[in-house]
Amino acid sequence: MPKQPLALTLDLIARVHSVPVPDDAAALQVMTDEELVPGLEQIIASRGRGSGGLWVFAYGSLMWRPEFVFSERRIGTVRGFHRRFCLLQRRFRGTPERPGFVLALDRGGLCRGVAFRLAGTDLRETLMPVWRREMRGRGYVARWLPVATEAGPVSALTFLVNRASDRYSGRLTDAEIAKKIAAACGHIGPSAEYLLRTVEACETLGIHDRHLWSLQALVAEHLRACPPGCQSTSQRGGYRLA
């Protein structure tokens, strides 16, 4: 049977979120490289010997925008954690008034994603780009987790949600999450675009995630309900959907 087309599209998103949003550095103060180094050293020290290469497990934007050099890519499964929009984004793809969401791994279930084998011999130099990207906002904690792949298991650096962070939303319903995603936009783009890119990447890889599929349909409904010109900007650049 042919694949069902996505309800959410870039045209639909652009129709609602057409006004650029200025950056607000005060909305989320990110860690400097100096502040990130101790945590990076700890995770490197905790890595077991004979790990069969340096791997990172991707389940969100790292799947479609890895921003690191890799020598191998495998579809893999992590057990004990599931992919969920549970990390609030008050900057980048949202504002304090209208926060969006990004994905994290939360407890329970399983997650299919991509295990990337990073290219490079210096662990610190190789890991710093992805460490900076994922850890500077204090929304994640890092673990080495086993990833099952068809070519055998690998131990991969994996970013789990930091439940102690004020960005952790807890377990909201898909309807609650979709409403926030539809309304949110930051200086790098709408939260809905992040969702769309991720669900497209999963579908291309043969990974069907019911949470993502439900959300894209719900977000599309919210955006379709907003006629052209209905958006208005808040004082800090967020968007209001009718």
DSSP, collapsed to helix, strand or coil, labels residue 141 as strand
**Residue 52, phi-psi category: left (phi > 0), alpha (psi -120 to 50), beta (remainder):** left
C-alpha radius of gyration, the chain, whole number: 18
Contact 207, 113 (CB under 8 A): yes
Please state, in angstroms and rounded to a whole number, the distance separating the CA atoms of residues 223 and 129: 34
* 134 catalytically annotated: yes
Residue 73 tokens read as: 């890519």
Contact 76, 149 (CB under 8 A): yes
Closest CA to 152 of 52, 46, 47: 52
Residue 117: its H or E element: strand 100-118
Residue 133 tokens read as: 């990207």
Please state, in angstroms and rounded to a whole number, the distance separating the CA atoms of residues 201 and 208: 10
- Active-site residue, from 134, 193, 203, 221: 134
Residue 177 tokens read as: 């999450």
Residue 82 tokens read as: 């599931």
Instruction: Cite the active site residues.
Output: 134
